[in-house]
Homo-oligomer: A and B are copies of this chain.
Protein backbone atom coordinates (compact mmCIF):
# COMPACT_ATOMS: atom_id res chain seq x y z
CA UNK A 1 0.00 0.00 0.00
CA UNK A 2 2.95 2.38 0.39
CA UNK A 3 5.43 0.86 -2.01
CA UNK A 4 3.21 1.97 -4.86
CA UNK A 5 3.18 5.50 -3.48
CA UNK A 6 6.94 5.47 -3.33
CA UNK A 7 7.24 4.26 -6.89
CA UNK A 8 4.69 6.80 -8.02
CA UNK A 9 6.93 9.47 -6.55
CA UNK A 10 9.94 8.10 -8.40
CA UNK A 11 11.51 6.86 -5.19
CA UNK A 12 13.10 3.46 -4.86
CA UNK A 13 11.56 1.13 -2.35
CA UNK A 14 14.23 0.83 0.30
CA UNK A 15 14.32 -0.44 3.82
CA UNK A 16 14.89 2.94 5.48
CA UNK A 17 11.95 4.43 3.58
CA UNK A 18 9.61 1.58 4.47
CA UNK A 19 10.61 1.69 8.12
CA UNK A 20 10.08 5.43 8.33
CA UNK A 21 6.63 5.11 6.78
CA UNK A 22 5.85 2.32 9.21
CA UNK A 23 6.78 4.44 12.21
CA UNK A 24 4.72 7.35 10.97
CA UNK A 25 1.76 5.03 10.48
CA UNK A 26 1.94 3.33 13.85
CA UNK A 27 2.85 6.31 16.00
CA UNK A 28 0.48 7.14 18.83
CA UNK A 29 0.98 10.88 18.60
CA UNK A 30 1.13 10.91 14.80
CA UNK A 31 3.29 14.04 14.99
CA UNK A 32 6.98 13.18 15.19
CA UNK A 33 10.27 14.98 14.94
CA UNK A 34 13.03 13.57 12.75
CA UNK A 35 14.98 12.83 15.90
CA UNK A 36 12.09 10.89 17.41
CA UNK A 37 11.81 8.77 14.29
CA UNK A 38 15.55 8.23 14.31
CA UNK A 39 15.59 7.14 17.94
CA UNK A 40 12.72 4.75 17.38
CA UNK A 41 14.61 3.19 14.48
CA UNK A 42 17.73 2.80 16.57
CA UNK A 43 15.74 1.31 19.43
CA UNK A 44 14.22 -1.26 17.12
CA UNK A 45 17.68 -2.30 16.03
CA UNK A 46 17.80 -0.64 12.62
CA UNK A 47 21.08 0.74 11.42
CA UNK A 48 20.21 4.06 9.97
CA UNK A 49 21.80 7.47 9.76
CA UNK A 50 20.09 10.59 11.00
CA UNK A 51 20.88 12.22 7.68
CA UNK A 52 18.86 9.55 5.93
CA UNK A 53 15.86 10.28 8.12
CA UNK A 54 15.99 13.97 7.29
CA UNK A 55 16.61 13.24 3.62
CA UNK A 56 13.76 10.78 3.35
CA UNK A 57 11.33 13.00 5.21
CA UNK A 58 12.12 15.89 2.91
CA UNK A 59 11.58 13.66 -0.11
CA UNK A 60 8.31 12.39 1.34
CA UNK A 61 7.21 15.95 1.87
CA UNK A 62 8.01 16.83 -1.74
CA UNK A 63 6.09 13.74 -2.84
CA UNK A 64 3.08 14.72 -0.76
CA UNK A 65 3.35 11.68 1.49
CA UNK A 66 4.00 13.60 4.69
CA UNK A 67 3.66 17.17 5.78
CA UNK A 68 6.01 19.20 7.90
CA UNK A 69 4.78 21.38 10.73
CA UNK A 70 6.65 24.24 12.34
CA UNK A 71 5.31 24.32 15.85
CA UNK A 72 7.09 26.55 18.34
CA UNK A 73 10.24 24.86 19.40
CA UNK A 74 13.22 24.38 17.21
CA UNK A 75 12.46 21.04 15.59
CA UNK A 76 10.10 20.49 12.71
CA UNK A 77 7.37 17.91 13.22
CA UNK A 78 6.26 15.44 10.56
CA UNK A 79 2.98 13.62 10.07
CA UNK A 80 1.55 11.32 7.45
CA UNK A 81 -0.50 13.09 4.83
CA UNK A 82 -3.95 11.58 5.20
CA UNK A 83 -5.71 13.77 2.70
CA UNK A 84 -7.74 16.03 4.94
CA UNK A 85 -6.35 19.44 5.74
CA UNK A 86 -6.43 20.35 9.40
CA UNK A 87 -4.88 22.70 11.91
CA UNK A 88 -3.44 22.03 15.37
CA UNK A 89 -3.82 22.71 19.07
CA UNK A 90 -0.70 22.15 21.16
CA UNK A 91 -0.50 21.88 24.94
CA UNK A 92 2.17 24.18 26.32
CA UNK A 93 2.77 21.80 29.23
CA UNK A 94 2.72 18.24 27.94
CA UNK A 95 3.14 18.85 24.22
CA UNK A 96 0.01 16.93 23.29
CA UNK A 97 -1.18 17.76 19.78
CA UNK A 98 -4.82 17.74 18.75
CA UNK A 99 -6.22 18.39 15.32
CA UNK A 100 -9.21 20.36 14.16
CA UNK A 101 -10.80 21.67 11.02
CA UNK A 102 -13.10 24.66 11.01
CA UNK A 103 -14.81 25.78 7.85
CA UNK A 104 -15.63 29.19 9.31
CA UNK A 105 -11.97 29.93 9.83
CA UNK A 106 -11.00 28.53 6.45
CA UNK A 107 -13.57 30.72 4.74
CA UNK A 108 -12.58 33.85 6.62
CA UNK A 109 -8.96 33.24 5.69
CA UNK A 110 -9.83 33.16 2.02
CA UNK A 111 -11.87 36.33 2.33
CA UNK A 112 -9.14 38.14 4.21
CA UNK A 113 -6.52 37.12 1.68
CA UNK A 114 -8.70 38.33 -1.16
CA UNK A 115 -9.31 41.66 0.56
CA UNK A 116 -5.55 42.12 0.77
CA UNK A 117 -5.01 41.19 -2.85
CA UNK A 118 -3.33 37.88 -2.08
CA UNK A 119 -4.15 34.62 -3.76
CA UNK A 120 -3.77 32.34 -0.80
CA UNK A 121 -1.85 29.11 -1.29
CA UNK A 122 -1.44 27.81 2.20
CA UNK A 123 -1.73 28.70 5.83
CA UNK A 124 -0.46 27.69 9.24
CA UNK A 125 -2.66 27.93 12.29
CA UNK A 126 -1.60 26.62 15.67
CA UNK A 127 -3.38 27.25 18.96
CA UNK A 128 -1.29 27.02 22.12
CA UNK A 129 -2.75 26.44 25.56
CA UNK A 130 -3.07 24.12 28.51
CA UNK A 131 -4.88 20.87 27.97
CA UNK A 132 -7.17 18.99 30.36
CA UNK A 133 -5.48 15.63 30.10
CA UNK A 134 -5.34 14.07 33.54
CA UNK A 135 -1.73 13.12 32.89
CA UNK A 136 -0.78 16.65 31.92
CA UNK A 137 1.83 17.88 34.42
CA UNK A 138 0.38 21.36 34.83
CA UNK A 139 -3.03 20.29 36.09
CA UNK A 140 -3.98 21.27 39.61
CA UNK A 141 -4.36 18.03 41.60
- Where the two chains meet, the residues of A that have a C-beta atom closer than 8 Å to any C-beta of B are 70, 72, 89, 91-92, 98, 100, 102, 104-105, 108-109, 112-113, 116-133
The answer to whether B102 and A108 have CB atoms under 8 Å apart is yes
| A72 in complex: contacting residue of B70, B92, B119, B126, CB < 8 Å | B70
List the 10 closest A-B pairs by CB distance, nearest first. Answer: A117-B132, A120-B129, A118-B129, A122-B128, A123-B127, A125-B125, A121-B129, A124-B126, A119-B130, A104-B108
State the number of copies, please. 2
A81 to chain B minimum Cβ distance, whole angstroms, is 17
| A122 in complex: contacting residue of B70, B122, B125, B129, CB < 8 Å | B129
Q: Known contacts A113-B129, A126-B124; is A118 also within 8 Å of B91 by CB?
A: yes
